[in-house]
Homo-oligomer: A and B are copies of this chain.
Amino acid sequence: MNRIETKQIKDVKLKEPILVEGLPGIGHVGKLVAEHMIAELGAEKVMEIYSSHFPPQVIVLADGTVRLVRSEFYAVDTGDQHLLILVGDHQSATNDGHYELTDAYLQMAVKNGVKRIYTLGGYGLGQLVDTPAVLGAVNNLALVEEMKQYGVVFKENEPGGGIVGASGLLLGFGALAKIDAVCLMGETSGYLVDPKSAQAVLKVLCKALNLDISMQALEERAKEMEKIVARVREMEQAGMHEVTSEEDLRYIQ
């Protein structure tokens, strides 16, 4: 077994597609957006990527079957443009693996003639946020002004800790491959799965891609989450700690 195995599911011809990456991360913001897009746009799976760098486990599905941890590329023609959407179960569990997997993702982008990459993530504030802004980072200075038009905020040297994982490395590797790339980060507490932050990111992305996507499913999840957050706040005020059990979070994922 090689350390990374790709499995082509469908052979598609894409014309200068835009790559949207939404792998798991802070608040699962990027993952929520990308999975929402796949569902709403009816994107088709074109490739699966397996790797011994992923956590050594299988995912249990609703019907009792399991599958290996993997990343997936989906493709869709929105009329205006072709999209490639990258989602997955986990980021790499090893240091080298982050680099190797991003390299594999980028090779897929190059092979399909990707002309721009949007990587999506959360920006952890450490506290609950009512109206999440969307921060940006780019791998080509010329993109800053364009992104500002869509409402993206740029803060000097933020995030100070850098952008970790595929969302960051795709910008760095993209620069080497001369592919413009933008990272959109929705402000989020960092403690909870955050569909509200995902909505903020999706709105920006829809402007940038000139897309019209229903937000309803994300709104509903955001409302569910609001209820949990309210309960958390109540319990915090009542002096209780560690109330946000994993079960709560899993329920609304």
Contact = CB atoms under 8 A, between A and B. Distances in A.
A164 B90 CA distance: 13
A1 B63 contact: no
Nearest to A152: B64
A174 to B, nearest CB: 10
Contacts of A172: 58, 66-68
Given A66-B172, A67-B175, A99-B1, A61 B94 contact: no
A116 interface: no
Copies in the complex: 4
A139 interface: yes
B175 A95 contact: no
Contacts of A96: 3, 52-53, 94
Main secondary structure of the interface of A (DSSP, over half): mixed
A95 B53 contact: yes
Contacts of A144: 63-65
Given A57-B164, A165-B56, A172-B58, A65 B140 contact: yes
B64 A141 contact: yes
A93 B95 contact: yes
Interface in A188-212: none
A160 to B, nearest CB: 5
A168 B66 contact: yes
A57 B165 CA distance: 6
Interface residues of A, number: 57
Nearest to A171: B66
Nearest to A144: B64
B138 A66 contact: yes
A144 B65 CA distance: 8
Interface string A65-105: 11111000000000000000000000011111111101100
8 contacts: A52-B99, A55-B95, A55-B162, A56-B99, A57-B162, A58-B163, A66-B183, A94-B95
Interface of A: 1, 3, 52-53, 55-69, 92-100, 102-103, 136-141, 144, 154, 156-165, 168-169, 171-173, 175, 183, 246, 250
